[in-house]
Amino acid sequence: MPEAIDVIDVNARIGHNFAAERAEPNANVFEAVTQHVLARQAAGKRVAIALWSEGARERMSHVLADHRLHNLTPVGSWPQALALPKPTIALAVLGIESGFETEDAVIVSEQDILGDRLVRPRRAMRRADNFIAEATSLASGDLVVHVDHGIGRFIGLQAIEAAGAPHDCLEIHYAENAKLFLPVENVDLLSRYGSEQTNVELDRLGGGNWQARKARMKSRIREIAGELIKVAAERQLREAPRLTVGPGAYDEFCAGFPYEETDDQLAAIEATVKDLGSGRPMDRLICGDVGFGKTEVALRAAFISAINGKQVAVVVPTTLLARQHTKIFSERFRGFPITIMQASRLVAKAQLNAVKRDVAAGKIDIVIGTHALLGKTVKFKRLGLVIVDEEQHLGVVQKERLNELRADVHVLTLTATPIPRTLQLALTGVRDLSIIASPPVDRLAVRTFVSPFDPITIREALLREKYRGGQAFYVCPRIEDLAAAKDFLDKNVPEVRVTVAHGQMPPTVLDDIMSAFYDGKYDVLLSTTIIESGLDIPAANTLVVHRSDLFGLSQLYQLRGRVGRAKLRAYALFTLPAQQKITAQAERRLKVLQSLDTLGSGFQVASHDLDIRGAGNLLGDEQSGHIKEVGFELYQQMLEEAVMSLKAGVTALAPDRWSPQITIGTPVLIPEEYVADLSVRLALYRRLAEIEEEREIDSFAAEMVDRFGKLPNEVEHLLQIVAIKALCRRANVEKIEAGPKGVVLAFRDNIFANPEGLLAFIQKQGSMVRMRNDPKNAKNQQLVFFDDWERPEERLQGTTAILRKLATIAVPAKAA
C-alpha cells in the first residue's frame, strides 16, 4: 500500500487517536475502534487500518472480529483497497505513525489504537545454547579436567607442528611438571573445574588415582540421578489444570505489549503456553537479564490462568517490587474482567485481612505479594499458577511450601541470576529452562568500576548525574552503615538532596519515600539492598555501592541492574575499604562482575556463581562437596548422562566421553589475524567440539563468515576435521593417520557395529585395503587404505569419503 502517500488528498486531516479511551480504567479501546469505524462507514467513507507487521495484521483481524468487525480483508496496496466494496475494511501493512481522514476515506493506524509502539531492530541473535557455550569459555590459568587424565591447569593455546603442519593445541600442565597438548578438535574431552580453585591438587599424567575417583563419583551420581528422576517422574504422573486460550481475547491482551517481541521472548512465551495446556504441572525457569522482558512472559501466563477461572499468586522478594508489579499488572489487565490485589506490608492491616478473605473466597483472580503469600495463613480457593520473581530470595520454609505446590499447580520462575541449585536443575533437564538473551531497544551496557573508597570520585559521580538531570542510588550493606553514609554525603556532596530507605521502616513511610524519589523530589536514594530486586526507576542512572566486598555476586549484579534502564549510559561504582585487605573470594566476585559488563550477562553471572560457590547436592543442603572431586562441568555432564540413561531405561553406568585422534598433515587452526581475541577463539573451538551433525557445521561456517569475514584455508580445514570427527564417532573409529600414501585407522576397543558389512566392504576394495595388527599393540587391529594423496586437500576429501562409507555401513546395524 505504499502508493497511498502519493494519491491521498493533500487536504487530509489527522485522524482520531484513541488516547482518551486507553486512559479510561474500564473502557475497551477496541470497542471504541468498532464504534468509530461503523460511524465513518455510515457517513459513506471507505475505511482502512494500517498495521506495522504481518503478525500484527493477523492478530488485529482476530481481535476486531471479536468486536463485531467481520468484513476485514488484507490488501497489498492502495488501489486494492479502493477496489473493495465500501462496507469492507482493508487491513494493510504500512509503517505510518498516525492515521488521517479525507473527504471519502479514513485510515486508522496501529499506533492510534494501541499507543506508542517500539519496534526492536531484528539483529542476527546468538542462539541460547551458543550463548551458554560462549559463557563458559576458558581463561589462561584456569583449572580444567580432562576426562581421561584428571585435573590440570590450562596454560594457553599453542600451535604445534603435527605431521609437518601447524595444529592448534591447548597446553595443559599436570603434577610433576608433566605437559599435555590437546588438539582443539578434541576440546570436548576437557571441562572447566569451576568451584573454588585454591588448595586443589593436580593429577599425575598416567596415574590411577583419577580413574578410581571418577568411578566412585559415577556410582554416587547414579544414585542422585535416580532420586532426581523419581521427583521428575512423580511430577509427570500428577495432573494439573489444563489451561488453554482461544485467539480472540488473548490476541487483544498481547496487543497491549508496546514492543515487538524478540525471538527469545517468543520462544519462552510459546513454551510456557504449551506447558500450561499440557495437563501436567509446569515447572519452568525463565532466565533473562534485568529488563529483558521476563515480566511479559509472566503477564501472558497469568492472563491464560485467570481467563480459565484459576487464581494466580505472584510472589516477589520486596514490598517495593510488589507495589511496582501491582501497577504493571493493573495497567495491562485494564478493560478485562479480572480482579488484581496487592498483599504486602504496604497495604493497611484491615485491607490485607480483607484481601486474604477474598482470596480464600475466590473473589480475587491475581494476588501480588511478598513471600508471605506462601505462608500458611493464605488460603486459595482455586490456585492454578504461581509466578516466583527471583527465587534466590526465598527462605527455606517458603521453598518447601513451593515444592509442595509444584506437585499440583503450575509454577513459573523468573530470574536474572538463578541460584546455583536452580540453574543446575535446569541444566540437567529436571526443570525446564527458557533463556531470553536479547536486549531491549537502545539499551546500553552499564559501565562498571571497582576502586578503593575515594570521597572525590564519589562526589564527582553523584554531581555529574545530578547535572545531567538524573538520580542516583547509594547502597550500604547494613542498616547501621546508613547514618555514617548520610553524614558523609551531607558533608562532601551538600548540593544533592538525599533521602534514606530501608526494610525496617513503617510501610507507609517507605511508600512515601519511594514515591517522592520516583517523582524526582530527591537526587540520591541512600538505602540497603531493599532496592536490589526488580525496581524500575528509569531516571536513576548512577549506582554507588559502599563496601561491595560484603555482597554476593548475584546481589551485586542485581543492584547494578537497577541502573541503565533508560537510553542513557549508566555507571556503577563498587567501592572497597581503602586500608583493609578483602578476601580472595570477594576479589574474584568483583573481577567477574567488572569483566561481565556486556548486556545479557546474567546467565554468565549465575555460571560463575556456580563456579565460586558450587551447586551443592541437588537433593540436600550439603554444599559443593561432590563437585570438588571432579570439577563442576564434568559433574554436570556425568549427572546429565546418568539422568538421560535412566530415563531411557539403561541401568549400566554411562561410558566415558571419547574423541577420535585425527592426524591429516594439514594446518588446523583459527588464525590470530582472523579472530584476534583469544577467549573468543577458545569459545569457538569449544562450540565446534560439540558439533555432531554436518548441517550444524554449515551453519557454523555461515556464522563465522558473518562475524569475521571470508574463511581462511586453515579454518576450512578445521571444519572438515570436525566433520571427519563426527563420522568417526558414528563408525566407532578412535584413531586416524593420513599421509601421501593413504590412511590408517583403528576402531575403538576393536569394535565395529556391523562386522559382516565391514568384511564385505574390504573384499570389494581388493588390494586397496588391508587389515593388520597395530605395530605398537598387537591386540589392536588396524585398517590400511592405500591411495595417492600428495596434497592435504586430497587427504581430507579421501578420508571423509572412506569414513562416510564406514558410518553408512555401521549405522543401519546400530538402528536395528
So what's the pLDDT on residue 472?
94
CB 743 within 8 A of CB 785: yes
Cell 556456580 sits at which residue? 610
Let me know: does 709 contact 701? Beta carbons within 8 Å.
Answer: no
Encode pLDDT of 8-35 as tens digits.
Answer: 444 556 667 676 666 665 557 777 888 8
Q: 210-219, 337-346, 422-431, 539-548 — which is least confidently predicted?
A: 422-431
Average pLDDT, stretch 553-559? 74
Q: What is the DSSP string of 512-561?
A: HHHHHHHTTS-SEEEESGGGTTT---TTEEEEEETTGGGS-HHHHHHHHT
484's CB contacts (< 8 A; 6+ apart) are: none
How far is Cα 198 from Cα 483, in angstroms, rounded to an integer? 38
Segment 137-156 mean pLDDT: 82
Of all residues in the chain, the percent with pLDDT exceeding 90 is: 15
At residue 271, φ and ψ (nearest 5 deg) are -65, -40
The least confident of 309-318, 384-393, 421-430 is: 421-430
Is the pLDDT confidence value at 2 over 80? Answer: no
Q: CA-to-CA distance for 275 and 269, rounded, in angstroms?
A: 10
Residue with cell 547436592: 617
Which residue from 417, 441, 518 is spatially nearest to 473, judged by alpha carbons?
A: 518
Which grid coordinates belong to 208?
590411577
Q: Which of 770, 795, 773 is nearest to 784 (CA)?
A: 770
Nearest alpha-carbon partner for 533 in 562, 503, 573, 564: 562
In the numeric block, which cell numbers belong to residue 297?
512472559
User: Distance between CA atoms of 799 and 791, rounded to whole angstroms?
Assistant: 12
pLDDT, residue 418, reads 56
**Per-residue pLDDT tens digits for 274-319:** 999 988 888 888 887 767 788 899 999 999 999 999 999 999 887 7
pLDDT of residue 440: 64
pLDDT at 619: 40
- The per-residue pLDDT for range 343-353, each reduced to its tens digit, is 887 777 888 88
What is the tens place of the pLDDT at every residue in 669-680? 899 899 887 777
Enumerate residues 6+ apart whose C-beta is below 8 A from 645.
Answer: 652, 654
Q: Which residue type, as a one-letter code, is found at position 597?
A: D
* 3-state SS assignment for residue 631: coil
Mean pLDDT value across residues 247-253: 83
Burial of 202 (0-12, 13-18, 19+ CB in 10 A): middle
Q: What is the DSSP letter of 291?
A: T
Among candidate residues 296, 330, 326, the one with its CA nearest the CA of residue 314: 326
- Burial class (CB within 10 angstroms; exposed 0-12, middle 13-18, buried 19+) of 662: buried
Q: What average pLDDT does range 635-657 have in this prediction?
A: 68
Distance CA 510, CA 502 (A): 8
**578 with 563: CB under 8 angstroms?**
no
Look at residue 354 and tell me whether its pLDDT is greater than 50.
yes
Residue 542 has a pLDDT of 92
Which three three-digit cell numbers place residue 255? 496487543
The pTM assigned to this predicted structure is 0.57
* 628 band by pLDDT with thresholds 50, 70 and 90: low
Dist. CA 322–CA 310, nearest whole Å: 20
Rounded Cα distance, 685 and 671, in Å = 12
In this predicted structure, which of 159-168, 219-228, 563-572 has the lowest mean pLDDT?
219-228
User: Between the CA atoms of 670, 675, 676 and 681, what dihedral angle is there, to the nearest 10 degrees?
Assistant: -60
| Alpha carbons 523 and 542: distance in angstroms, whole number | 11
SS3 for 639? helix
Contact by Cβ (8 Å): 213, 220: no
User: Residue 459: what pLDDT?
Assistant: 93
* Summary mean pLDDT of the chain: 78
Residue 415 above 50 pLDDT? yes
Does residue 595 register a pLDDT over 60?
A: no
Q: CA-CA distance, 232 to 225, in Å (whole number)? A: 10
Average pLDDT over residues 47-74: 78
128 pLDDT higher than 60: no
CA distance to 194, 224, 342, 504, per residue, from 425 (Å): 17, 12, 31, 34
What's the pLDDT band for 228 if we cut at 50, 70, 90?
low
Question: Of 113-122, 134-143, 173-182, 677-686, which has the strongest mean pLDDT?
Answer: 173-182
Least confident window among 429-443, 596-610, 668-682, 745-759: 596-610
- Per-residue confidence (pLDDT) for residue 777, from 0 to 100: 72
The answer to whether 700 touches 129, Cβ cutoff 8 Å, is no
Q: Which has more confidence, 256 or 26?
A: 256
pLDDT digits (tens, 9 = 90+) for 607-620: 444 444 444 444 44
Grade residue 443 by pLDDT with cuts at 50, 70 and 90. low
Which three three-digit cell numbers place residue 126? 546468538
Return d(Cα 129, Cα 434) in angstroms, integer: 10
CB 419 within 8 A of CB 392: yes
Q: Quick one: pLDDT at residue 4?
A: 39
CA distance 803 to 790: 19
By mean pLDDT, which of 2-6, 33-37, 262-266, 636-640 is the weakest?
A: 2-6
Q: Which long-range contacts (CB under 8 A, 24 or more apart) does 723-726 make?
A: 723/694, 723/697, 723/800, 724/660, 724/662, 724/664, 724/796, 724/799, 724/800, 724/803, 725/185, 725/659, 725/660, 725/662, 726/691, 726/692, 726/693, 726/694, 726/697
Task: Output the pLDDT for position 814.
Answer: 44
Phi, psi of 246 (to 5 degrees): -80, 170
| Mean pLDDT score, 159-165 | 81
Give the amino acid at 41. Answer: Q
Task: Please give the residue that has the higher pLDDT: either 489 or 213.
Answer: 489
